[in-house]
A and B are shown apart, each in its own frame.
Chain A
Amino acid sequence: DTEVTQTPKHLVMGMTNKKSLKCEQHMGHRAMYWYKQKAKKPPELMFVYSYEKLSINESVPSRFSPECPNSSLLNLHLHALQPEDSALYLCASSQDSTAWNEQFFGPGTRLTVL
């Protein structure tokens, strides 16, 4: 199974809502990533988990809270988001977090903040 799954596919939320994005892989990968992509822009790294520990946080606002409950799951908890946070959120995984490992991506969650 070389698939990374993400749920939900689409999410619309208000600025006062709390919601979570989920990501799952069963490839035995020990690194997992969250990226954010705005329209016509490149994906931007938000967080990296390595062996279930947060290893990189790219100065992401605290209204985004990642969680890695186990080696197969990665969550992104959302609270008090702003309309400018509307974007495609991509999850990826790789064998480990070193740069020469290819990353396997999910299809993304399209988030709209009203």
Chain B
Amino acid sequence: ILNVEQSPQSLHVQEGDSTNFTCSFPSSNFYALHWYRWETAKSPEALFVMTLNGDEKKKGRISATLNTKEGYSYLYIKGSQPEDSATYLCAHSGSARQLTFGSGTQLTVLP
């Protein structure tokens, strides 16, 4: 992996479903992995910053895991709600001072 890749590109789920997305990144020179949530017409909002292999973070119904050795992170949403509809961006830092973003996963939660 040379760039930051996210899958799937888009996802439709029913309200109440649990879902997860993947972020793949170069496994060399790892400094940090960020997850952001970006609702239409709003500012991207930080969800998690992860720095250690094996890190797991949780905020309400949203959680994330990190595997720096194999170069991936998963974002999980439990019991999706319509207000979870947004684009979820991950960003990798392979140097101390800058982020490279993936193209995002666009989530739509249907009521």
Contact = CB atoms under 8 A, between A and B. Distances in A.
Interface of A: 4, 40-45, 48, 50, 55-56, 90, 97-108
B103 A97 contact: no
Contact of B99 (A4, A50, A103, A106): A103
Contacts of B93: 99-100
Contacts of A101: 49
B63 interface: no
Nearest to B93: A99
Contact of B98 (A4, A56, A90, A105): A56
B86 interface: no
B31 A100 contact: yes
B97 A100 contact: no
Contacts of A44: 101
Interface in B79-107: 89, 93, 95-104
7 contacts: A42-B102, A45-B100, A99-B99, A100-B31, A105-B44, A105-B45, A108-B43
A75 to B, nearest CB: 19
A6 to B, nearest CB: 9
Contacts of A100: 31-32, 49, 51, 93
Contacts of A56: 97-98
Contacts of B103: 40-42
Contacts of A107: 41-43
Contacts of B36: 105
Interface in B36-90: 36, 41-46, 49, 51, 89
A103 B46 CA distance: 7
A6 B97 CA distance: 23
B97 A97 contact: yes
B96 A98 contact: yes
B98 A99 contact: yes
Contacts of A43: 44, 89, 101
